[in-house]
Amino acid sequence: MDTDKSYKELLANINTFIFDVDGVLTDGTITVTTDGEMLRTMNIKDGFALKTAVDAGFNVCIISGGSNEGVRKRLAGLGIKDIYLGAHNKIEQLNEYMIKHNITKTHVLYMGDDIPDYPVMKLVGLPCCPQDAVQEIKSVSKYISHKNGGKGAVRDVIEQVLKVQFKWNGNFNAKYD
């Protein structure tokens, strides 16, 4: 990780977004139904930004320790093809993904919120976190969003990257619901 550059200087080099799910795309809360199903809530503005990034040609990947078919369907519906759920070794998944797509770590923005994200965040070019991430993650992040997980933090980082690269272009016809 290049510690000499500010996060704003790093935005121009990003071509890949990788996100955790629980605590980043959601607020970390789960509702457990009487039949044991775990329900999560995602922010529609984050969804719009994810779809916009996909449509603009960015690599978008999900690496999460949790595994939920509803989450997979939601993210696949936004055009995300690389969805790694139940990933207990996030470094292994990161390396597999980067080899598959010929990506270097310096071009990766990773957003995580908790201890399982720490090893991956130490490796990528632009580690970021939501405002409500744990302190250990904040300490390794180059950028801490002013938004909480599940409340627009994903939209925040995607919009910043796309604007710096002149790809937040007013084509706002993305289907994101």
Checking if the pLDDT of 3 tops 60, the result is: no
47-64 pLDDT tens trace: 999 999 999 999 999 999
pTM above 0.85, yes or no: yes
pLDDT level of residue 37 (50, 70, 90 thresholds): confident
80-135 pLDDT tens trace: 999 999 998 999 999 999 999 999 999 999 999 999 999 999 999 999 999 999 99
Confidence at residue 1, expressed as pLDDT on a 0 to 100 scale:
45
* List of domains in the chain: 20-101+111-163 (3.40.50.1000)
Checking if the pLDDT of 174 tops 80, the result is: no
Confidence at residue 109, expressed as pLDDT on a 0 to 100 scale:
98
Confidence at residue 176, expressed as pLDDT on a 0 to 100 scale:
53
CA distance 156 to 147: 7
Residue 146 exposed, middle or buried by CB count within 10 Å (0-12, 13-18, 19+):
exposed
CA distance 119 to 136: 11
pLDDT level of residue 2 (50, 70, 90 thresholds): very low
98-113 pLDDT tens trace: 999 999 999 999 999 9
Confidence at residue 5, expressed as pLDDT on a 0 to 100 scale:
72
To the nearest 10°, report the CA torsion of 57, 175, 96, 148.
100
pLDDT level of residue 76 (50, 70, 90 thresholds): very high
Buried b (16+ CB within 10 A) or exposed e, 108-122: bbbbbbbebbbebbe
